[in-house]
Each structure stands twice: as structure tokens, then as C-alpha cells.
Amino acid sequence: MQLKRREILKGSLLGAGMTVGLTDVFAKGSSHSGESEFPTETFDVVVVGAGMAGMCAALEAAEKGANVVLLEKRGRPDGVTVYSSGWIAAVGSDMQKHHPEDTKEAFVADMMRLSRYKSDPELIKRYAEEAGEGVNWLIQKGVPFKLWENLPSPELSRCVISQGNGITGGSMLIRCLLKALNEKKVPIRYNTNAIELIVTANNEVEGVSCHTPEGRKNYLAKGGVILTTGGYGANTAMTGAWIGPWANNLVMRASPWSVGENITMGMQVRAKLVYLDQFYAGPITPTGHANPSPLMHAGYGIQVNTAGKRFLPEDWLQVPKAKGIANLTPDNRSFMLIGSDADDNDQILTKTLKRFANLGYKVPNGKTIADVAKAAGVPAKALEETVKEFNAAVKAGKAKELDPPYEFATPHALEKGPFYMIPAAGGMANTMGGPKINVNANVVTWEDEPVPGLYAAGAAAGGVWVHDDIGGNQLGGCMVFGRVAARHATARAKAHG
Ligand SMILES: Cc1cc2nc3c(=O)[nH]c(=O)nc-3n(C[C@H](O)[C@H](O)[C@H](O)COP(=O)(O)OP(=O)(O)OC[C@H]3O[C@@H](n4cnc5c(N)ncnc54)[C@H](O)[C@@H]3O)c2cc1C
């Protein structure tokens, strides 16, 4: 279980360019166990990355009786979760008992359809089976959830939303999980950057080698290493290579520290890398980092470009919408034009404006369409014509015949001012691809063989999300597969004695 320094360095990917890294790792193999000159600590389970997935994994492992450590490369949890809205998609939780009309089968069917049947159906089934119980588990940890009822399909009443009360919903999740981890006395080692897996000659993962403030250190795991390092959305070499150079024009919505250690470490064990071109995107203000969701999905208003014209179907979900703004406008800029009647839906407009104001963002507004156009710097005449055409189609029951079609089930004419134009650019949130996992969250090789001792969850894992998802599926996936990985790694540690 020990490691020689020259062997670690021989297999090292870091410092090498990605292309070099690929050939390097496949040509030379990875670090093997042997004697180590680095200080070493041994645990049952080693979790790498303190985001939603890592915290759920570490807590579940501790609750199942494992001696677990959580490693975090930054001085605090600093991944995408902190920026997130805190929606979790689930079916069958205690909060959803009064919605028996939804079923696990319907949830799986919607997820598969949204992924264009590319997601691994076994992973989606596992998600649907475990998410409801996972939400109940988080409620026990004190997460203040609210069920968002009756959103347009496919979200329906599937999203429980962590109430941030002044911080993001995602930060509230982190805060509650940190408290629970503290209570369970789970050690969290900050400023501990996992740089390389420790692997036997038989491709079994025995631990991870890290840069720490005290120097290089090895963390060995009897049951397994769980990679929860997030994705690679901030690594422009990776996004440019796998998604395309255009992706680097998207506004970065989240953590600058998502630089793809899930990929570089996964490569050491020949992990099957899937859907590296896929990413989660969402509309965001071009500056100021204010998130116009969920107003954009509430079924009110129209989306226009800077010329005052509609250019995509408003019912598109977050991911295609953000990609659409980046691809279908010359400048990755658009506005959601909303009338005051949107407040009929749970005060959604007022709440959004308040949230924006808290972030120091003033939304252009005006009593008339011409006024709001002027405030937003959009040609007034063009916007008035767009609204006139839209309202006429709504009143004639022909909104679906517009070009592009307006597909919300109950369209609302834009008549009640004041009107607001909420800026929306396409934003990169985080990547969806990575080392493929099986239903036990075990990373598999190109031959679909599980890699003993290596698990992945959250944005670090591949196979769950492709193309698009039901809002809240990603944090939900972190929760489900983080816990699944923890249970399996814990059982493996116990089996090893
Ligand atoms: C604005 C925004 C809103 C969103 N809202 C939602 C939502 O409401 N619902 C939803 O389902 N999804 C949402 N998402 C997506 C969701 O937030 C992410 O999919 C999810 O947070 C990923 O969590 P994670 O635990 O996998 O990774 P992260 O939260 O990114 O955590 C990874 C952690 O690992 C650490 N780390 C990385 N590499 C190493 C290493 N080598 N060694 C040690 N530590 C390391 C990082 O510093 C970080 O702390 C949103 C995303 C954005 C950008």
C-alpha cells in the first residue's frame, strides 16, 4: 500500500498538456503501490472534493460506520454547489405525498426523453428510486426545503427548493451538510489538493496522493476513493477541445476551480470517459451574476434579442435556452420581456426583482413597451411590433403557430405594465460528462469493468446527464450517487476488514 516517489512522478498527468497527458498515461500506466517516502494516513473511505456530492458521500459513509475523510483543495467548499439555486428534483419524498399523480416511471420516462435517450437508464432508475428518500434525509439535516408546486411540464411538482434566506439555495445545502458533518466529527482537510490516484498493478485504487500545506501526503482508502471533484467547466483547454471554441464565449456562471481532476485522475485507470461534449448551461445576466431562473420557466413573457425580435421558443429548458442564446444571437445577449401579471404566479416577478436588487442589479423597466425598450437599449418600434404580433396570436389561440412557436400551455398576452426586461446571456454552469459510473457509482473502464476502489459522483461522474435534464437533477444526482458510492465503499472497507 505504499508508494515510491519516482513512481508517482512517472505517472503524473499534472503539468502536462491534455494531449500529452492522454498519451502519457496510456503509454506509461499510473502510479503503483510500493514504498512511500510521503507521510500516509489510512481511512475506510476517502472522499475528494467538498461540494454537494462529496458532503453527501462523506456524511453517508460516516452514518454507515466508516472512518471517512473529506479532502478539499480550497480553504473552504468552493465548487459549483455554492453558486447553485438549490433545486433538487425528486419523486415520492414526504413533501410530495399529496402528488400521487407523479410516479417513478413517469420521472424516468421524462429524464430519458430529455436526454434524447442517451442517459444510462439504469442510473436514471436508481436516481428515481432513491431521490425521494434522499430529500427526506436532507430534511433531517435541517435543509429548509419548499416544494415548488405545479411548474410547467416536465418539472411539475418535482422540485424541492432549498431556501437560501439571503444566501444561495446551494450554499444553504452546504451549510446544513457542514453542520451535520461536524456533528458526526468527520475530518475535513482543507487546502489538500488530490493530484494522483494510487493504483496497484491490477488497476485497483488504493488511495490518493495530495499536495497539502505540509507537503506531499498520501491518503489510503480500504474501501475506496470517491471522486467528487466537480467538472471541468473552468478548464478552457478541455472545454475548447471537447465542446468547441465557441463554448469559451459563454459567461462563466460558477466556480473557477472546476478544472477536471475527475478526468485526469480517471485516465490513470483507463476510466471510460463519456459525453465530454455535454454541459449544463443556463441563462445569466452578462454582468453582475444574477440568475433569471425560475422566472424564465414560469410561462409568462417573451424572450427577445437586442434587435427586439423573438428568436427561440420560450419553453425551452435552461440548457438548450442558454446554448440557444449563445448560438442564435450575434452577441450572446437577450432579454426576457415580462409584464406585471407574472406576479399572479406566486409573486414570481417581485421575488426575482428583489433577488436582483439584493445582488445590486437594477432591471430595466417602463410603464409601456416603448419605455422599457428605451431603458434596455432595444429599438422601441421593433419591440412594439413583436409584442403586437405576439398578443394577437395569443388572443386568436394561435401562439403555437408563431415563428418560433410559443408552446407554453396557457399563454398570457403582454398587456399589464409596468414591463421589465431581464437580461439573459448564455452561461456555462458545469460539465456533465466524465468517468462513466455503474449503478453502484463505481467507475468503469473502457471494457465496462468496474475499477475496484474507485467511485465517482456528482459532476465528476459521467452517464447520468446528457443534453438536458429536469430542473434539480444535478444536485439530486450528487445526493443520490454520493450516498450510493459511500454505501458501497463502506461495505468494501468492512469486507476487507
Ligand atoms: C448558477 C447555477 C445554478 C445551479 N442551480 C442548480 C439547481 O438549482 N439544481 C441543480 O440540480 N443543479 C444546479 N446547478 C448545477 C449544480 O450546482 C452542480 O451540478 C453541482 O453543484 C455539482 O456539485 P459537485 O459536488 O459535483 O461539485 P462542486 O460543487 O463543484 O464541488 C467540487 C469540490 O471539489 C473540490 N475539488 C476539485 N478538485 C479537487 C481536488 N483535486 N482535490 C480536492 N478537492 C477538489 C472543489 O474545490 C469543490 O469544492 C447549478 C449550477 C449553477 C452554475
- The full DSSP string for 348-375 is HHHHHHHHHHHTT-PPPEESSHHHHHHH
Q: What confidence score (pLDDT) does residue 35 get? A: 56
- The pLDDT mean for the chain works out to 91
| 12: pLDDT strictly greater than 70 | no
Helix axes 369-376, 380-395, angle to 10 degrees: 130
Q: Is the CB of 212 under 6 A from ligand 1?
A: no
Q: Which residues lie across from 425 on neighbouring strands?
A: 284
| 108: pLDDT strictly greater than 90 | yes
| 29: pLDDT strictly greater than 90 | no
Q: pLDDT tier at 497 (50, 70, 90 boundaries)? A: confident
Instruction: Give the number of the atom of ligand 1 that is nearest the alpha carbon of residue 472.
Output: 11
Angle, CA of 141, 227 and 121, to the nearest 5°: 85
Ligand 1 centroid to residue 435 C-alpha, Å: 16
Q: Which one is predicted more confidently, 142 or 9?
A: 142
Kindly report whether the global pTM for this prediction surpasses the value 0.75. Answer: yes
- pLDDT (mean) for 174-192: 98
CA distance 422 to 490: 48
Given a contact cutoff of 8 angstroms between Cβ atoms, the answer to whether 134 and 483 are in contact is: yes
Residues 287-335 have pLDDT tens digits of 878 888 888 888 999 999 999 999 999 999 888 899 899 889 988 999 9
Q: Is the CB of 178 under 6 A from ligand 1?
A: no
Q: Is the CB of 257 under 6 A from ligand 1?
A: yes
* Strands, E assignment, 348-468: 365-366, 419-423, 425-431, 434-435, 442-444, 450-456
Ligand 1 centroid to residue 80 C-alpha, Å: 3
Residues 331-349 have pLDDT tens digits of 899 999 999 999 998 899 9
Nearest CA to ligand 1 atom 51: 84
Q: What confidence score (pLDDT) does residue 11 get? A: 38
Q: Which residues of 5-26 are buried (b: 16+ CB within 10 A; e: fewer)?
A: eebbeebbbeeeebeebbebbe
Q: What confidence score (pLDDT) does residue 2 get? A: 41
Given a contact cutoff of 8 angstroms between Cβ atoms, the answer to whether 193 and 101 are in contact is: no
Q: What confidence score (pLDDT) does residue 26 get? A: 34
Q: Is the CB of 199 under 6 A from ligand 1?
A: no
Q: pLDDT tier at 248 (50, 70, 90 boundaries)? A: confident
- pLDDT (mean) for 30-42: 73
Least confident of 24-38, 224-238, 292-306: 24-38
Ligand 1 centroid to residue 266 C-alpha, Å: 18
Closest CA to 107 of 126, 91, 86: 91
Q: Is the CB of 273 under 6 A from ligand 1?
A: no
Q: Is the CB of 473 under 6 A from ligand 1?
A: yes
Of 83, 258, 475, best ligand 1 pocket probe by most atoms within 8 Å of the beta carbon: 475
Residue with cell 437586442: 306
Of 238, 430, 484, best ligand 1 pocket probe by most atoms within 8 Å of the beta carbon: 430
Least confident of 119-123, 147-151, 234-238, 260-264: 147-151
| 22: pLDDT strictly greater than 70 | no
Ligand 1 centroid to residue 219 C-alpha, Å: 23
Residue type, 377: G
Instruction: Give the number of the atom of ligand 1 that is nearest the alpha carbon of residue 81.
Output: 21
Residues 435-455 have pLDDT tens digits of 999 999 999 999 999 999 999
Closest CA to 284 of 132, 179, 382, 428: 428
Q: What confidence score (pLDDT) does residue 8 get? A: 39
Q: What confidence score (pLDDT) does residue 31 get? A: 55
Q: Is the CB of 229 under 6 A from ligand 1?
A: yes
Nearest CA to ligand 1 atom 20: 81
Q: pLDDT tier at 6 (50, 70, 90 boundaries)? A: very low
CA distance 419 to 416: 7
Pairing of strands 145-148, 68-71: unpaired
